């Protein structure tokens, strides 16, 4: 058998990242029969074109998964995170999703998500030490109906 080189690449190219992601997606599609996948990316920028907030994720398998949600510090607490989440959840509803999943940490925004109806279904303590990583989900109204 051919010897394969193990390569550490801290900043892989989009080509390499796409290679791994696409192969995982193809395996998931083949094994589940769920081949519908939609990127979900919403951003806020000011009139000067500066990016100030964003949400990235995807819809697959009847669920929206939010990868990242970020609002610049000076704009937090003004409804911008809710605006992004509302848009993503609306997209999920329009694509007949059952619900939404995401992760956050205890020092980030668990209260924000709890107010939106998200529930913690898993926790990793001391990730990082002194804090917790939280796994949350929310069922969407009317999903599965």
Tens-digit pLDDT profile for residues 29-70? 999 999 999 999 999 999 999 999 999 999 999 999 999 999
What's the domain range around 56?
34-139
pTM of the complete model: 0.89
Q: What is the CATH number of the domain that holds 64?
A: 3.40.630.30
CB atoms within 10 A of CB 59: 21
Tell whether the model's pLDDT for residue 145 goes beyond 70: no
Residue 27 lies in a domain: no
Residue 124 lies in a domain: yes
Residue 5 lies in a domain: no
Helices (H), 103-145: 110-115
**Pairing relationship of beta strands 37-45 and 132-139 according to DSSP bridges:** unpaired
Residue 7: exposed, middle, or buried by beta-carbon count in 10 A (0-12, 13-18, 19+)?
A: exposed
Average pLDDT over residues 12-25: 95
Whole-angstrom Cα distance, residue 15 to residue 12? 8
- pLDDT tens figures, 83-142: 999 999 999 999 999 999 999 999 999 999 999 999 999 999 999 999 999 999 999 976
* Contact predicate 28/60, CB 8 Å: yes
Residue 81: exposed, middle, or buried by beta-carbon count in 10 A (0-12, 13-18, 19+)?
A: buried
How many structural domains compose the chain? 1
Mapped onto helix, strand or coil, the DSSP state of residue 138 is strand
């Amino acid at each position: 058998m051919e010897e394969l080189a193990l390569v550490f690449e801290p900043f892989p190219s989009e080509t390499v990242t796409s290679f791994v992601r696409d192969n995982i997606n193809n395996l998931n599609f083949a094994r589940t029969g769920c081949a519908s996948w939609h990127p979900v990316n919403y951003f806020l920028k000011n009139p000067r074109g500066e990016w100030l907030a964003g949400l990235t994720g995807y819809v697959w398998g009847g669920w929206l998964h939010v990868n990242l949600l970020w609002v610049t510090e000076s704009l937090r607490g003004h409804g911008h995170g809710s605006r992004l989440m509302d848009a993503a959840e609306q997209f999920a509803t329009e694509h007949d999703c059952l619900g939404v999943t995401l992760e956050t940490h205890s020092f980030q925004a668990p209260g924000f998500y709890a107010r939106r109806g998200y529930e913690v279904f898993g926790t990793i303590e001391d990730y990082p030490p002194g804090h917790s990583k939280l796994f949350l989900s929310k069922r969407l109204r009317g999903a599965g109906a």
